[in-house]
């Protein structure tokens, strides 16, 4: 644009800017229209999809997992709102019921394990609680993880701790577990015996006595471990949250 | 592609030709190969591909094929499918050479240039199912029975299972493919929406409000987490208002049953159980709860510092709760979260929160140990006072004559029972001190210094503590410009005050008021008190002020010391005072001694509240005279 000097030039410049802004708005409007159209198409497709595959979603856990993974990769949360598009799929009820049941199981076992329950134990209890029909037994660990993550927003301390590949602990009482404590839990689950002692920690993890004692004492304070004074050599610390798991793995 | 082998066009024994197709391209997995525009021959045992006119033949044994499917076209491809996917099993390690030695894919594609030859596909399916190569092998192995029977036997069962599996696989893969398509679309929309939302953030107001709202509703329905829309939009919705009302209705009665407060997870479970169908998602539920305060519903959402969220009756206030818990604390010495939860019948997590709030209000102190977290009532009182009055309660005793004399509760003539005396005394004095506190603001106040239980520590330690206390008071006094600091004590307190007189601090003290005190500890060795004091002759001498007068020489305390006893006190006490007074006279110090008529060991201080009481007048006169 040829720049004219003087007031005329300034005015022209201003006019140009106005026009650009208008154009931008128009383009933006186009964006919105485009979006609305796309949303419509998407909604139709989703309904078709739901018609065809609704029952499968409910029955097949792998399918569910695939679905969740895809949603996560895109950045969409199908459970966010009961009024949203995804409610057509009917997965909302399934997951929300699962959430409620998870909370109930955790509350019931809290007095025993101090608020820390292994995912496997949680799953077994849920299957027992949900009933004998095959459909109910088809929940797998991914479903549980997905549902449990949702509970975080209530601020009640629900969180998932990974202690090794594929093994998780669900914590339902707020409490701080730093890396040392997690390492202790990992070791307990690895060694297949649900107890721990200072000497085991020193051997396996090469920790010094102070560090080992501090971690174990913290576990007792939080109610996650029980102290056993009967052993003649030294104190043992037992972890109720690991009991079932160890039993299960021994059976295999 | 590594399952292919070089071969000739000769047919193997028992192999029969079935069909031929033209213009076929081979794909290794998803990748194109160089083998295009070839002819494909289907036999009962193999697929043979070759370029017309060449002598190089590639053959694929049908036994490698586990699954055949037509490739579904893209959304954007409007033509019918042209490709056939063949899924293959792993090749044996040792096999004849082929065009490709190693392939990372476990499937190949046959691409039909024109369109999919239905005939060919059907034929291929048939042939693969028939598995003529297998039956041949079976016949070769067992010459006994005709092979047909074996097919319908175990092999037949296996085959039917396989078919069923294939069918389910097919339907699932169809679903997966649909899912794929759906997700791709969703992804595009999400990207677009992100674009728009950034635009909204940058130039707000260039889009009209309705459109913004529409846009936000799309995002909400999609379930996209977008900070721009989250708070503003959701708070205005009709839907959430309805939900909030519903939740209130469901939860009002239960919440009243548990003293007005419930953890949010609990409420969520109950609400969903009540609904049965059409359960609420956690986000919806939370948004509805956030609206409750705006709608002025009787229940509100509240968040504690630790992040725990609860629903609480709007009518509950923090102060009332704090006071109530404080009284509980005082009653039961200490409380843990579990105890409080049992007492109040609320969940442990709430009890903990309550205790933390009480701590915030400075009414409780925490004690963290391996046994857990405990809360004690806060004994550090806030007010500070100038007139220091030591006070020690007399102790219980048993019947010896010396005991009796040194046990004022037994000597007391007013009451029948000695323990009642103490109780009475405590009550009176407590009440009196309250009265005094109420009356006087700055000038004369009383400090209750709780030193350690005399039964658990030695007298030495107590005395050291006393010295520290006096130093502390002097510091404060200097800071606050007190004109004088007078030190007084009653009974054992007088002993302590007198000990201060004999140490270095006395130069900063303006005067001493010693009431009914013991200044020579030796007689106490023969009483039950010694079980706690553990004195022997030497230590008693060391701790008795009466033996320390060499240090008091030259102290400027003329008329600044008052020794006073009640008329009805035991002879032992009276004698103590006399002997002590004598010491002062010996070193030439003028002191005041008084006997208060009609007073016993307890009344002598209980009456101090009375303005017309003689001792009160004497003390005030002394203090005034000095200043």
Nearest to B181 by CA among B67, B76, B69: B76
CA distance B339 to chain A (A): 14
Cα B50–chain centre separation? 72
Q: What is the arrangement of strands in the sheet containing B511-515, beginning at the earlier edge strand?
A: B388-391, B486-490, B511-515, B561-566, B592-596
- The percent of residues above 90 in pLDDT, for chain B, comes to 0
Domain of residue A239, CATH code: 1.10.10.10
Instruction: Please say which residue of A121, A140, A175 terminates a domain.
Output: A175
**pLDDT tens-digit readout, B398-411:** 334 455 455 555 45
Using a CB-CB distance cutoff of 8 angstroms, which residues of chain A are in contact with residue B279?
82, 92-93, 96-97, 100
**pLDDT tens-digit readout, A174-226:** 766 777 888 888 888 777 778 888 888 888 888 888 888 888 888 888 778 88
- The pLDDT score that the predictor gives to residue B296 is 84
**pLDDT tens-digit readout, B517-532:** 888 888 887 777 777 6
Tell me: do A171 and A52 sit in the same domain. Answer: yes
Region A79-106 average pLDDT: 74
Tell me: do B460 and B562 sit in the same domain. Answer: yes
Domain of residue B536, CATH code: 3.40.50.1820
Tell me: do B375 and B403 sit in the same domain. Answer: no
Using CB atoms within 10 Å of the CB of residue A213, give its burial: 0 to 12 exposed, 13 to 18 middle, 19+ buried.
Answer: middle
Residue A141 within any structural domain of the chain: yes
Region A17-46 average pLDDT: 74
Using a CB-CB distance cutoff of 8 angstroms, which residues of chain A are in contact with residue B72?
none
Residue-range definition of the domain harbouring residue A227: 177-252
Region B47-73 average pLDDT: 82
Residue B219 within any structural domain of the chain: no
C-beta atoms of B175 and A28 within 8 A: no
Using a CB-CB distance cutoff of 8 angstroms, which residues of chain B are in contact with residue A150?
281-282
- The answer, for A146 touching chain B at a CB cutoff of 8 Å, is no
DSSP string, chain A: -PPPPHHHHHHHHHHHHHHHHHHHHHHHHHHHHHHHHHHHHHHHHHHHHHHHHHHHHHH-HHHHHHHHHHHHHHTB-TTS-TTSGGGGGTHHHHHHHHHHHHHHHHHHHHHHHTTEEEHHHHHHHHHHHH-SSGGGGG--HHHHHHHHHHGGGGTS--EEEEEETTEEEEE-S-----HHHHHHHHHHHHHT-SEE-HHHHHHHH---HHHHHHHHHHHHHHTS-EEE---SSS-EEE-GGGHHHHHHHHH-
Stronger pLDDT, B148 or B434, i.e. the higher one: B434
Residue B224 within any structural domain of the chain: no
Q: Please, are residues A96 and B272 in contact by the beta-carbon 8 Å criterion?
A: yes
Instruction: Please say which residue of A124, A147, A175 terminates a domain.
Output: A175
Q: Please, are residues B569 and B600 in contact by the beta-carbon 8 Å criterion?
A: yes
C-beta atoms of B283 and A155 within 8 A: no
Task: Kindly state the DSSP code that residue B386 receives in the 8-state scheme.
Answer: S
Residue of B nearest to A110 (CA): B348
Q: Please, are residues B393 and B426 in contact by the beta-carbon 8 Å criterion?
A: yes
Region A10-15 average pLDDT: 90
- The pLDDT score that the predictor gives to residue B478 is 75
Phi and psi, residue B48, nearest 5°: -120, 130
Using a CB-CB distance cutoff of 8 angstroms, which residues of chain B are in contact with residue A157?
307-308, 349
Nearest to B421 by CA among B392, B454, B450, B393: B393
Residue of B nearest to A217 (CA): B370
In whole angstroms, give the CA distance from residue B606 to residue B601.
Answer: 9
Q: Which residues contact A87 (CB under 8 A, 6 or more apart)?
A: A81
Name the most confidently modeled range: A59-63, A71-75, A183-187.
A183-187
Nearest to A178 by CA among A206, A142, A144, A219: A219
Residue A30 within any structural domain of the chain: no
Task: Kindly state the DSSP code that residue B525 receives in the 8-state scheme.
Answer: G
Residue B109 within any structural domain of the chain: yes
Tell me: do A120 and A182 sit in the same domain. Answer: no
Phi and psi, residue B594, nearest 5°: -140, 150
Stronger pLDDT, B542 or B164, i.e. the higher one: B542
Would you say residue B158 has pLDDT above 80?
Answer: no
CA distance B409 to chain A (A): 47
Tell me: do B327 and B448 sit in the same domain. Answer: no
**pLDDT tens-digit readout, B201-240:** 665 545 556 666 666 666 666 665 554 444 444 445 777 8
Lowest mean pLDDT among A58-67, A240-249, B188-197, B242-251: A240-249
Q: Which residues contact B148 (CB under 8 A, 6 or more apart)?
A: none
CA distance B216 to chain A (A): 11
Region B84-94 average pLDDT: 82
- The pLDDT score that the predictor gives to residue B218 is 66
Lowest mean pLDDT among B347-356, B405-414, B608-617: B405-414
Could you say which of B185, B263, B349 has the minimum Cβ distance to residue A45?
B185
Q: Tell me the pLDDT of chain B averaged across its residues.
A: 73
Tell me: do B360 and B448 sit in the same domain. Answer: no
- The percent of residues above 90 in pLDDT, for chain A, comes to 1
Query: B274-310: b or e for each residue (b if 16 or more CB lie within 10 Å)?
Result: eeeeebbbbbbbbbbbbbbeeeebebbbbebeeebbb
- The pLDDT score that the predictor gives to residue A146 is 81
Lowest mean pLDDT among B230-234, B262-266, B307-311: B230-234
Tell me: do B374 and B441 sit in the same domain. Answer: no
In whole angstroms, give the CA distance from residue B310 to residue B301.
Answer: 6
Tell me: do A167 and A64 sit in the same domain. Answer: yes
C-beta atoms of B280 and A56 within 8 A: no
Name the most confidently modeled range: B408-417, B461-470, B570-579.
B570-579
Region A6-16 average pLDDT: 89
Domain count, chain A: 2
Tell me: do A167 and A228 sit in the same domain. Answer: no
Tell me: do B468 and B574 sit in the same domain. Answer: yes
- The pLDDT score that the predictor gives to residue B205 is 47
CA distance A170 to chain B (A): 15
Would you say residue A91 has pLDDT above 80?
Answer: no
In sequence order, the β-bridge partners of residue B562 are: B513, B592
Would you say residue B30 has pLDDT above 60?
Answer: yes
Tell me: do A185 and A155 sit in the same domain. Answer: no
- The answer, for A227 touching chain B at a CB cutoff of 8 Å, is no
- The answer, for A20 touching chain B at a CB cutoff of 8 Å, is no
- The pLDDT score that the predictor gives to residue A23 is 79
How many beta carbons lie within 10 A of that of residue A33, not counting itself?
A: 11
Instruction: Please say which residue of B379, B399, B416 terminates a domain.
Output: B379
Chain A segment 167-226 residues within 8 A of B by beta carbon are 173-174, 217, 220-221
Task: Tally A–B CB contacts below 8 A.
Answer: 177
Task: Kindly state the DSSP code that residue B314 receives in the 8-state scheme.
Answer: T
Region B588-613 average pLDDT: 80
Lowest mean pLDDT among A79-83, B358-362, B453-457, B550-554: B453-457
Domain count, chain B: 3
Lowest mean pLDDT among A60-74, B212-226, B329-343: B212-226
Lowest mean pLDDT among A128-142, B255-269, B449-463, B548-562: B449-463
Residue A4 within any structural domain of the chain: no
Residue-range definition of the domain harbouring residue B344: 231-379
In sequence order, the β-bridge partners of residue B511 are: B486
Using a CB-CB distance cutoff of 8 angstroms, which residues of chain A are in contact with residue B181?
45
Tell me: do A56 and A98 sit in the same domain. Answer: yes
3-state DSSP assignment of residue B57: strand
Tell me: do B559 and B424 sit in the same domain. Answer: yes
Tell me: do A199 and A157 sit in the same domain. Answer: no
Could you say which of B283, B284, B307 has the minimum Cβ distance to residue A155?
B307
Q: Tell me the pLDDT of chain A averaged across its residues.
A: 76
**pLDDT tens-digit readout, A114-144:** 778 888 888 888 887 776 555 555 677 888 8
pLDDT bin (cut points 50, 70, 90) of residue B40 is confident
Tell me: do B591 and B564 sit in the same domain. Answer: yes
Would you say residue A100 has pLDDT above 80?
Answer: yes
Residue A73 within any structural domain of the chain: yes
Lowest mean pLDDT among A75-79, B102-106, B191-195, B313-317: A75-79
Instruction: Please say which residue of B321, B356, B379 terminates a domain.
Output: B379
Would you say residue B352 has pLDDT above 60?
Answer: yes
- The pLDDT score that the predictor gives to residue B56 is 80
**ipTM higher than the 0.85 cut:** no
- The answer, for A66 touching chain B at a CB cutoff of 8 Å, is yes
**pLDDT tens-digit readout, B438-478:** 444 333 333 444 444 444 556 777 777 777 777 877 777 67
Tell me: do B270 and B414 sit in the same domain. Answer: no
Would you say residue B171 has pLDDT above 50?
Answer: yes
Q: What is the arrangement of strands in the sheet containing A236-238, beginning at the earlier edge strand?
A: A195-196, A236-238, A226-228
In whole angstroms, give the CA distance from residue B44 to residue B15.
Answer: 6
Q: Which two tokens stand for residue A116?
A: 């820390």
Tell me: do B356 and B411 sit in the same domain. Answer: no
């Amino acid at each position: 644009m040829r720049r004219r000097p003087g007031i005329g030039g300034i005015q022209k410049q201003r006019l140009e800017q106005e026009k650009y802004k208008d154009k931008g708005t128009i383009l933006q409007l186009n964006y919105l229209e485009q979006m609305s159209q796309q949303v419509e198409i998407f909604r139709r497709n989703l309904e078709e999809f739901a018609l065809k595959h609704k029952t499968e979603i409910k029955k097949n856990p792998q399918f569910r997992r695939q679905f969740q993974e895809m949603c996560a990769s895109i950045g969409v949360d199908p459970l966010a709102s009961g009024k949203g598009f995804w409610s057509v799929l009917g997965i909302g009820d399934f997951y929300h019921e699962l959430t409620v049941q998870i909370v109930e199981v955790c509350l019931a076992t809290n007095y025993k394990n101090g608020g820390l329950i292994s995912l496997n134990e949680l799953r077994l209890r849920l299957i027992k609680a949900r009933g004998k029909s095959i459909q109910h037994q088809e929940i797998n660990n991914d479903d549980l993880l997905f549902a449990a993550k949702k509970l975080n927003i209530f601020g009640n301390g629900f969180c998932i701790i990974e202690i090794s590949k594929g093994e998780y602990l669900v914590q339902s009482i707020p409490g701080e577990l730093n890396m040392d404590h997690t390492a202790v839990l990992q070791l307990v689950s690895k060694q297949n015996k649900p107890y721990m002692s200072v000497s085991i920690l020193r051997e396996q993890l090469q920790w010094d006595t102070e560090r080992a004692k501090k971690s174990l004492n913290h576990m007792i304070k939080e109610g996650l471990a029980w102290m056993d004074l009967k052993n003649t050599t030294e104190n043992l610390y037992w972890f109720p949250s690991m009991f079932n798991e160890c039993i299960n793995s021994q059976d295999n | 592609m590594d399952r292919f082998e070089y071969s000739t066009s000769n047919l193997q024994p028992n192999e029969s030709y079935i069909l031929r197709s033209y213009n076929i391209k081979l794909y290794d997995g998803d990748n194109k190969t160089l083998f295009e525009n070839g002819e494909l021959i289907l036999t009962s045992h193999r697929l043979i591909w070759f370029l017309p006119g060449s002598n190089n033949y590639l053959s694929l044994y049908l036994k490698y094929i586990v699954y055949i499917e037509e490739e579904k076209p893209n959304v954007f491809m409007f033509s019918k499918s042209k490709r056939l996917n063949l899924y293959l099993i792993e090749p044996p390690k040792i096999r004849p050479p082929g065009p490709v030695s190693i392939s990372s894919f476990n499937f190949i594609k046959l691409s039909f240039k024109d369109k999919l030859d239905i005939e060919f596909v059907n034929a291929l399916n048939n042939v693969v199912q028939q598995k003529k190569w297998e039956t041949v092998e079976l016949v070769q192995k067992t010459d006994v029975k005709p092979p047909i029977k074996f097919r319908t036997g175990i092999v037949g069962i296996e085959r039917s299972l396989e078919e069923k599996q294939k069918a389910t696989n097919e339907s699932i893969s169809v679903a997966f493919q649909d899912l794929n398509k759906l997700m791709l679309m969703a992804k595009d929309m999400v990207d677009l929406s992100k674009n728009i939302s950034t635009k909204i953030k940058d130039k707000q107001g260039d889009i009209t409000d309705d459109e913004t709202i529409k846009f936000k509703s799309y995002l909400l329905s999609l379930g996209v987490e977008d900070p721009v829309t989250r708070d503003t939009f959701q708070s205005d919705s009709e839907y959430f208002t309805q939900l909030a009302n519903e939740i209130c209705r469901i939860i009002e009665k239960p919440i009243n049953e548990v003293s007005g407060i419930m953890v949010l997870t609990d409420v969520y479970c109950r609400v969903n159980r009540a609904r049965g169908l059409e359960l609420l998602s956690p986000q919806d539920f939370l948004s509805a709860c956030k609206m409750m305060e705006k709608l002025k519903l009787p229940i509100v959402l509240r968040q504690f510092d630790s992040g725990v969220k609860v629903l609480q009756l709007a009518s509950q206030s923090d102060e009332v709760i704090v006071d109530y818990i404080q009284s509980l604390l005082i009653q039961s010495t200490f409380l843990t979260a579990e105890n409080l939860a049992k007492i109040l019948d609320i969940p442990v997590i709430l009890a903990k929160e309550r205790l933390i709030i009480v701590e915030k209000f400075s009414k409780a102190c925490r004690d963290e140990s391996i046994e857990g977290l405990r809360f004690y009532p806060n004994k550090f009182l806030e007010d500070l006072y100038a007139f220091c009055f030591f006070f020690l309660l007399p102790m219980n005793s048993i019947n010896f004559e010396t005991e009796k004399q040194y046990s004022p509760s037994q000597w007391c003539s007013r009451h029948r029972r000695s323990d009642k005396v103490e109780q009475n005394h405590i009550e009176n004095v407590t009440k009196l001190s309250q009265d005094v506190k109420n009356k006087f603001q700055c000038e004369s106040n009383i400090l209750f210094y709780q030193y350690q239980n005399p039964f658990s520590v030695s007298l030495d330690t107590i005395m050291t503590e006393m010295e520290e206390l006096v130093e502390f008071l002097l510091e404060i006094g200097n800071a606050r410009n007190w004109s004088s600091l007078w030190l007084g004590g009653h009974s054992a307190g007088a002993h302590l005050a007198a000990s201060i007189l004999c140490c270095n601090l006395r130069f900063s003290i303006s005067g001493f008021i010693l009431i009914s005190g013991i200044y020579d500890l030796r007689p106490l060795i023969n009483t039950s008190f010694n079980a706690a004091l553990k004195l022997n002759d030497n230590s008693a001498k060391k701790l008795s002020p009466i033996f320390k007068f060499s240090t008091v020489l030259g102290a400027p305390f003329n008329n600044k010391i008052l020794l006073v006893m009640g008329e009805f006190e035991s002879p032992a006490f009276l004698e103590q005072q006399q002997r002590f007074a004598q010491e002062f006279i010996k070193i030439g110090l003028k002191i005041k001694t008084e006997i208060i008529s009609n007073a016993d060991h307890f009344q002598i201080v209980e009456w101090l509240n009375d303005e017309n009481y003689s001792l009160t007048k004497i003390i005030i006169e002394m203090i005034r005279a000095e200043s």
